[in-house]
């Protein structure tokens, strides 16, 4: 039997935070197995013993120099809280995927850069990470599920990578793709999701100073559950845009369709800019629950980063920009 967990009043029930068809399907499937969500999460966490800790050849790059331009209005979320409350559906659909995510094999790790570029190439992560100076930035992260966290990410601006790729003038968007390996990532055996995880931004968004390729956090290489060895972070957008464990970066003419948009286009769109005034079809986005403190605070337009990004959307129909 499932153990019953009483939710604090501020917590969104999973059925509100998970796309409905996914939730309903998953429930009926789990019911078929006589399992509830709690049992399923425990199974996922024990599905494979964590791989032995390999020495990380990039550990010498951290701590990276702090960029003082990025300040926070609230404390940094403790690492043990952020590191145990994740969305990484490749390793399970609960928040407790940290143990299962240790199965992620991050070496060797190559990233393909292709599409509309002068010359497509593949580069090893360990080479890419040494191409640009790393810096530490304190960023807020606002999930579409109405919780937020603050993280000292380390990495380099996405625009440096765009410069390395030398896109052609015909490239309008950057498309990111996560690995596809159901043997390693048990969640990818689920037929409920259109794997692999994909996300995309416009070229102008990719060139914005805030768009950041994360390679580290908390003064060390980024943890597997946060999307090692490299992930995106777009602090003015809902968290699902910040794709983890990137394997392929393509410059394309057509707007990419992300995993969530492909699954539920009426709820998750391409832009996904944070806007407290535009509700998700099933819940309000006016406030957010701060991880660790549980405080409920007002959500800010563009997650508080309007000065840096509002000009990207000048002249566009605002009603289309927040989904």
Give the interface with ligand MTE as residue ranges (CB under 6 A).
86-90, 143, 178, 197, 226-227, 239-240, 242-245
State which residue, 116 or 245, has the beta carbon closest to ligand MTE. Answer: 245
Smallest gap from Cβ 187 to ligand MTE, in A, equals 8
State which residue, 134 or 146, has the beta carbon closest to ligand MTE. Answer: 146
Contacts of 125 (CB under 8 A, 6+ apart): 106, 107, 109, 110, 111, 229, 230
Task: Find the residue with minimal CB distance to ligand MTE.
Answer: 239
State which residue, 155 or 227, has the beta carbon closest to ligand MTE. Answer: 227
Smallest gap from Cβ 80 to ligand MTE, in A, equals 13
State which residue, 117 or 214, has the beta carbon closest to ligand MTE. Answer: 214
| Secondary structure of the chain as H, E, C letters | CCCCCCCCCCCCCHHHHCCHHHHHHHHHHHHHCCCCHHHHHHHHHHCCCCCCCCCCCCHHHCCCEECCCCCCCCCCCCHHHHCCCCCCHHHCCCCCCHHHHCCCCCCCCEEEEEECECCCEEEEHHHHCCCCCCEEEEEEEECCCCEEEEEEEEEEEHHHHHHHHCECCCCCEEEEEECCCCCCCHHHHCCCCCCCCEEEEEHHHHHCCCCEEEEEECCEECCHHHCCCCEEECCCECHHHCCCCEEEEEEECCCCCCHHHHHCCCCCCCCCECCCCCCECCECCCEEEECCCCCEEECCHHHHCHHHHHHHHCCCCHHHCCC
Smallest gap from Cβ 267 to ligand MTE, in A, equals 12
State which residue, 116 or 151, has the beta carbon closest to ligand MTE. Answer: 151
Smallest gap from Cβ 256 to ligand MTE, in A, equals 14
State which residue, 88 or 302, has the beta carbon closest to ligand MTE. Answer: 88
Smallest gap from Cβ 307 to ligand MTE, in A, equals 23
State which residue, 154 or 243, has the beta carbon closest to ligand MTE. Answer: 243
Smallest gap from Cβ 211 to ligand MTE, in A, equals 14
Smallest gap from Cβ 88 to ligand MTE, in A, equals 5
């Amino acid at each position: 039997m499932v153990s019953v967990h009483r939710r604090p009043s501020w917590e969104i029930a999973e059925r509100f935070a998970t796309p409905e068809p996914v939730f309903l399907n998953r429930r009926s499937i789990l019911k078929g197995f006589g399992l509830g969500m709690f049992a399923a999460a425990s199974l996922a966490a024990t599905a494979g013993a964590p791989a032995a800790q390999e020495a990380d050849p990039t550990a010498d790059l951290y701590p990276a120099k702090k960029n003082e331009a990025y300040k926070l209005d609230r404390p940094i979320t403790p690492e043990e809280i952020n590191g145990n409350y994740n969305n990484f559906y490749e390793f399970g659909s609960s928040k407790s995927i940290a143990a299962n995510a240790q199965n992620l094999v991050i070496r060797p790790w190559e990233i393909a850069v292709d599409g509309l570029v002068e010359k497509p190439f593949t580069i090893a992560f360990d080479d890419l990470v040494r191409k640009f100076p790393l810096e530490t930035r304190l960023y807020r992260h606002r999930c579409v599920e109405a919780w937020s966290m603050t993280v000292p990410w380390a990495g380099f601006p996405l625009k440096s990578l765009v410069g390395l790729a030398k896109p052609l003038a015909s490239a309008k968007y950057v498309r990111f793709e996560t690995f596809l390996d159901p043997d390693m990532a048990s969640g990818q055996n689920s037929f409920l999701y259109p794997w692999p995880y994909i996300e995309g931004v416009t070229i102008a968004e990719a060139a914005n100073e805030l768009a950041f390729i994360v390679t580290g956090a908390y003064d060390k290489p980024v943890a597997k559950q946060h999307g090692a060895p490299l992930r995106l972070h777009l602090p003015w957008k809902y968290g699902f845009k910040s794709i983890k464990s990137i394997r392929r970066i393509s410059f394309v003419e057509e707007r990419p369709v992300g995993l969530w948009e492909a699954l539920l286009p009426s709820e998750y769109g391409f832009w996904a800019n944070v806007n407290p005034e535009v509700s998700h079809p099933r819940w309000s986005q006016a406030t957010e629950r701060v991880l660790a403190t549980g405080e409920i605070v007002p959500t800010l337009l563009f997650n508080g980063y309007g000065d840096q990004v509002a000009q990207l959307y000048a002249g566009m129909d605002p009603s289309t920009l927040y989904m």
